[in-house]
């Protein structure tokens, strides 16, 4: 008996038909290798001769392990990042443009070295506890491979060492049954995908689509080497003028600059995501999905989910310190816009790669459950007033590495269907 896997994924089901046609039309010998031939080869395949002793049955339907269309459907499987072996990125122009000046001496001193050992141990313990709580909530947790990020690497265009595999949201985005690997924009993150490849290959073998966006060379031309940042006022002025450290030399984007709401995805042009990268995504996902570019009064735009976090159908958290310039568009569509309270994280707590607004960087387990920091009591109250149960976890030390719950995860499977929420 020949058993075949059926790919799942809305309007992309035609690809499954081509694949099944190729597999059914061949003898057992060599069928695995031939199953991955191109669609054109599949169409040209001829039935096996009647003399061959192969018995073919109806295809066996298998659920694709990858499926997510939005940020709030019931979460069934998630990738959680690792803090192990994390290292401070070298202090290059793109890192400088994405960090606050009070931490520049830290990068100048520790760039290319491990993060402070005691702090890192606490971050590792916090994320382990987060994983345990996710499992208790019925979510399957997967982890990237531990990798030695200290190794220096050299391409024809630059030399760097690595950083970490802590924030899968930055590099992986699931749209339907497709996993998209983002190209990234920091040289220290060029090879970050290697930590996730074993997982992605497993999902691919089980029926998921797998796309790797064009990898940028990250040559000097991708960055404005003279990007003039000295003060917060400089950053505000440059952002208002649409000037960023990344140029339009080649496509680049981090997946975390996109946020999903069914057939509509929202994205910002940021320090790590350029218009060429956005255009690549627009063409790649068309016509089933629509990409909307939105912008904010933000002096340092990098990753959308601590500025604009969609937590339910027609329900969005909008950072009051970084107002969305297109917010009326959402209100006219009937969405509810909620301004979260000010974060409670202390001023003396190190946030080497982010702002205090990680308080709103929450992970929805479904429409009525949210994972939120145990220390952020005011936003807990906000969620309770919205009728949403809070799952409290403390990840203060993990925050220091640049992310909250949304950043530290990529949802692999949410139980739901493709719908339109933005009209």
Quick: pLDDT tens for 342-377.
Answer: 999 999 999 999 999 999 999 999 999 999 999 999
Q: Tell me if 299 sits within 8 A of 322, measured CB to CB.
A: no
CB 36 within 8 A of CB 58: no
Does 303 qualify as catalytic in the annotation? yes
Is residue 348 within 8 A of residue 367, CB to CB? The reply is no
Residue 26 has pLDDT above 80, yes or no: no
Task: Specify whether 254 is catalytic.
Answer: yes
Which residue in 15, 65, 70, 7 sits closest to 417, CA to CA?
70
Report the C-alpha gap between 272 and 270 in whole angstroms: 5
Phi/psi at 149 (nearest 5 deg)?
Answer: -85, 0
How far is the C-alpha of 79 from the C-alpha of 127, rounded, in Å? 12
Q: Which residues pair with 275 in a beta bridge?
A: none
User: pLDDT, tens digit, for every residue of 136-148?
Assistant: 999 999 999 999 9
**Neighbouring C-beta atoms of residue 338, cutoff 10 Å:** 18
As a whole number, mean pLDDT of residues 302-330 equals 97
At 93-133, the pLDDT tens digits run: 999 999 988 999 999 999 999 999 999 999 999 999 999 99
Reply yes or no on whether 64 is catalytic: no
Residue pair 232/252 in contact (Cβ under 8 Å)? The answer is no
pLDDT in tens, 382-416: 999 999 999 999 999 999 999 999 999 999 999 99
Name the most confidently modeled range: 7-21, 28-42, 222-236, 294-308: 294-308
Structure tokens at 212: 């790797």
Tokens of 301: 């735009």
Which of 252, 373, 407, 411 is catalytic? The answer is 407
Per annotation, catalytic residue among 18, 119, 303, 397: 303
Cα dihedral 129, 130, 135, 141 in deg (nearest 10) = -110
Whole-model pTM? 0.85
Question: What size, in residues, is the chain?
Answer: 423
Q: Which residues pair with 315 in a beta bridge?
A: 312, 336
**168-206 residue pLDDT tens:** 999 999 999 999 999 999 999 999 999 999 999 999 999
**Backbone region of residue 207 per phi and psi (left: phi > 0; alpha: psi in -120 to 50; beta: other values):** left
What is d(CA 403, CA 303) in angstroms, rounded to the nearest whole number? 10
Catalytic residue among 73, 254, 264, 305: 254
What sign does the dihedral 205-208-213-218 (CA atoms) show? negative
Cβ atoms within 10 Å, residue 71: 21
Using DSSP bridges, classify how beta strands 315-318 and 336-338 pair: parallel, antiparallel or unpaired.
Answer: parallel
pLDDT at 8: 41
Give the pLDDT band (50/70/90) at residue 61. low
């Amino acid at each position: 008996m020949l058993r075949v896997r059926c790919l799942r994924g809305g309007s992309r089901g035609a690809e499954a038909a081509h694949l099944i046609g190729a597999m059914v039309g061949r003898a057992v010998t060599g069928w695995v290798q031939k199953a991955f031939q191109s669609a054109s080869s599949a169409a040209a395949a001829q039935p096996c001769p009647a003399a061959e002793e192969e018995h073919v049955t109806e295809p066996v339907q298998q659920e694709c392990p990858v499926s997510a269309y939005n940020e709030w459907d019931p979460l069934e499987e998630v990738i959680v990042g690792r803090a192990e072996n994390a290292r401070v990125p070298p202090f290059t122009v793109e890192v400088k443009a994405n960090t606050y000046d009070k931490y520049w001496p830290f990068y100048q001193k520790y760039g290319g070295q491990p993060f402070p050992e005691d702090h890192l141990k606490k971050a590792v313990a916090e994320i382990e506890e987060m994983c345990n709580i996710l499992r208790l909530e019925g979510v399957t947790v997967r982890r990237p491979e531990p990798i030695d990020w200290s190794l220096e690497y050299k391409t024809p265009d630059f030399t760097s060492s690595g950083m970490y595999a802590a924030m899968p949201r930055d590099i992986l985005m699931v749209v339907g049954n497709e996993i998209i690997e983002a190209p990234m924009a920091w040289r220290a993150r060029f090879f970050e995908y290697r930590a996730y490849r074993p997982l992605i290959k497993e999902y691919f073998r089980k029926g998921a689509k797998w796309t790797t966006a064009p990898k940028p060379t990250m040559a000097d031309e991708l960055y404005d080497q003279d990007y003039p940042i000295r003060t917060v006022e400089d950053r505000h002025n440059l952002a208002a003028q649409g000037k960023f450290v990344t140029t339009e030399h080649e496509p680049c984007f981090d997946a975390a600059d996109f946020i999903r709401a069914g057939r509509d995805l929202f994205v910002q042009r940021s320090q790590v995501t350029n218009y060429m990268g956005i255009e690549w995504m627009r063409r790649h996902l068309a016509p089933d999905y629509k990409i909307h570019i939105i912008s904010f009064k933000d002096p340092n735009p990098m990753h959308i989910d601590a500025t604009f976090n969609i937590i339910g159908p027609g329900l969005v958290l909008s950072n009051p310190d970084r107002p969305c310039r297109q917010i009326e568009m959402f209100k006219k569509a009937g969405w509810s816009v909620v301004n979260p309270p000010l974060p409670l994280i202390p001023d003396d707590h190190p946030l080497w790669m982010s702002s205090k607004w990680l308080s709103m960087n929450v992970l929805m387990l479904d429409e009525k459950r949210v994972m939120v920091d145990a220390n952020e009591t005011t936003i807990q109250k906000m969620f309770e007033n919205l009728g949403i149960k809070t799952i409290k976890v403390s990840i203060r030390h993990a925050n220091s590495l640049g992310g909250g719950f949304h950043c530290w995860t990529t949802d692999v499977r949410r139980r739901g269907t493709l719908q339109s929420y933005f009209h």
